[in-house]
Amino acid sequence: MPDDAPPLAGRHAIVTGGGRGIGLAVAEALASRGAVVTLMGRNENVLQTQAAELSLRFQVDVAHERVDVTDGALIEAAFQSAAARFGPAAILVNNAGIARAAPFPKTDQKFWREVIDTDLTGAFLCIGQVIAKMAASDYGRIVNIASTAGLSGYPYIAAYCAAKHGLIGLTRALAREYARTPVTVNAVCPGYTDTDIVSGAVAGISAKTGRATEAALAELIAHNPQGRLIQPSEVAETVAWLCLPSSASITGQSILVAGGELM
Ligand code: NDP
């Protein structure tokens, strides 16, 4: 690569849930640093549109694969197809996730499984597709999008908290297991971030409590000492930094992007 090449030039980055929200912002941040990107998610039209737009904006190759991260066979096919197109992944960002809220007595097994399968097992399965090849290559970055709910307990989201705590446990275990390889494994833990997840949470609080939308939003914002929602680009910049060559000694970390909500 020429000396003035962007820091991730030519590296293949796979971003799950890359069509919108934090995942799309991460894809932008990686593409802007020269990575070729595969967006993965369930909505083919959205992925196709965003891939074309990113490619045009950043002048890098961007493709997409339709995948539901709860389906092991689809994951395997999608990762094989992505590797055939752009080569093995050098970067994997496990971002696909759902946030479901319910009081614990209403958290039945179906609800529990849906959250754990998407937010924890999905990441486990995607990592399984790439980590051996990353370890045998000269470069590997895995970033798991966890949450403040991966580091502390919150009411009404027992399944989500369990999944995100599990994701941080997985991050720490793999960081140690692969420490003698070029692979780093980290988690990024956002506070309430301005995406569809927060709009959904606000709508849910309003529907359940009869409170106005503004009051429901204010309740979520009050968690953040800075008194605002985090922007997806702020999370994405932290992810991109972890993916740089210069972040090689940062592994096993859970980095909060939450305005001081937790310390
Ligand atoms: P969005 O709802 O905007 O995006 C969620 C993304 O995950 C979408 O791209 C969606 O793709 C994808 N996804 C969900 N389920 C699946 C599935 N089964 N298979 C494939 N893709 C799936 O939310 P955010 O951008 O906010 O969330 C991204 C991550 O950030 C999540 O892991 C979330 O837990 C985490 N997070 C978010 C916070 C917030 O306040 N927003 C705070 C802390 C963490 P599709 O188009 O297929 O639906």
Residue-wise DSSP of 103-140: -GGG--HHHHHHHHIIIIIHHHHHHHHHHHHHHHSS-E
pLDDT value at position 221? 97
Pocket test of ligand 1: the residue of 22, 168, 194 to mutate, having most ligand atoms within 8 Å of its CB, is 22
Please pick, among 139, 154, 160, 192, the residue that the annotation labels catalytic: 160
Average pLDDT of the segment spanning 150-156: 97
pLDDT value at position 169? 99
The count of C-alpha atoms lying within 13 angstroms of the C-alpha of 10, restricted to the half-sphere facing its C-beta, is 4
Pocket test of ligand 1: the residue of 193, 194, 234, 261 to mutate, having most ligand atoms within 8 Å of its CB, is 193
pLDDT value at position 72? 98
Domain CATH code at residue 59: 3.40.50.720
Pocket test of ligand 1: the residue of 98, 188, 234 to mutate, having most ligand atoms within 8 Å of its CB, is 98
pLDDT confidence bin for 10, thresholds 50/70/90: very high
| Contact status, residue 15 vs residue 68, Cβ threshold 8 Å | no
Structural domain span for residue 223: 194-229
pTM over 0.85: yes
The count of C-alpha atoms lying within 13 angstroms of the C-alpha of 160, restricted to the half-sphere facing its C-beta, is 20
Q: How far is the CA of 249 from the centre of ligand 1 (A)?
A: 28
Average pLDDT of the segment spanning 31-35: 98
Q: How far is the CA of 58 from the centre of ligand 1 (A)?
A: 23
On whether both 99 and 201 belong to a single domain, the answer is no
Determine what percent of the chain falls in helix, strand and coil, rounding each to the nearest 5: 50, 15, 35
CA distance linking residue 152 with residue 146, whole number of Å: 11
Q: Is 160 among the catalytic positions?
A: yes
pLDDT confidence bin for 126, thresholds 50/70/90: very high
- Minimal-distance CA residue to ligand 1 atom 36: 147
On whether both 117 and 18 belong to a single domain, the answer is yes
On whether both 46 and 164 belong to a single domain, the answer is yes
CA distance linking residue 186 with residue 213, whole number of Å: 35
pLDDT value at position 2? 72
Average pLDDT of the segment spanning 190-206: 95
| Contact status, residue 99 vs residue 157, Cβ threshold 8 Å | yes
On whether both 60 and 72 belong to a single domain, the answer is yes
Average pLDDT of the segment spanning 128-144: 98
Q: How far is the CA of 202 from the centre of ligand 1 (A)?
A: 16
pLDDT value at position 194? 97
On whether both 81 and 45 belong to a single domain, the answer is yes
Task: Please tell me the least confidently modeled range out of 40-54, 55-69, 154-168, 200-214.
Answer: 200-214
108's tokens: 């039945």
- Minimal-distance CA residue to ligand 1 atom 8: 17
Mean pLDDT, the chain, as a whole number? 97
pLDDT value at position 87? 98
On whether both 156 and 217 belong to a single domain, the answer is no
On whether both 110 and 222 belong to a single domain, the answer is no
DSSP assignment, residue 247? G
Q: Which atom of ligand 1 is nearest to the CA of 94?
A: 32
Q: How far is the CA of 98 from the centre of ligand 1 (A)?
A: 5
pLDDT value at position 3? 76
On whether both 165 and 176 belong to a single domain, the answer is yes
pLDDT value at position 67? 98
Number of domains, the chain: 2
Question: Helices 122-136 and 72-86: crossing angle, nearest 10°?
Answer: 30
Residue 4 lies in a domain: no
Three-state SS for 150? Answer: helix
The finding on whether 197 has its CB within 6 A of some atom of ligand 1 is yes
Statement: residue 181 has pLDDT above 90: yes
Q: Which atom of ligand 1 is nearest to the CA of 149?
A: 43
Encode pLDDT of 213-252 as tens digits.
Answer: 999 999 999 999 999 999 999 999 999 999 999 999 999 9
Residue 29 lies in a domain: yes
Q: How far is the CA of 197 from the centre of ligand 1 (A)?
A: 7
What length does the chain have? 263
On whether both 131 and 212 belong to a single domain, the answer is no
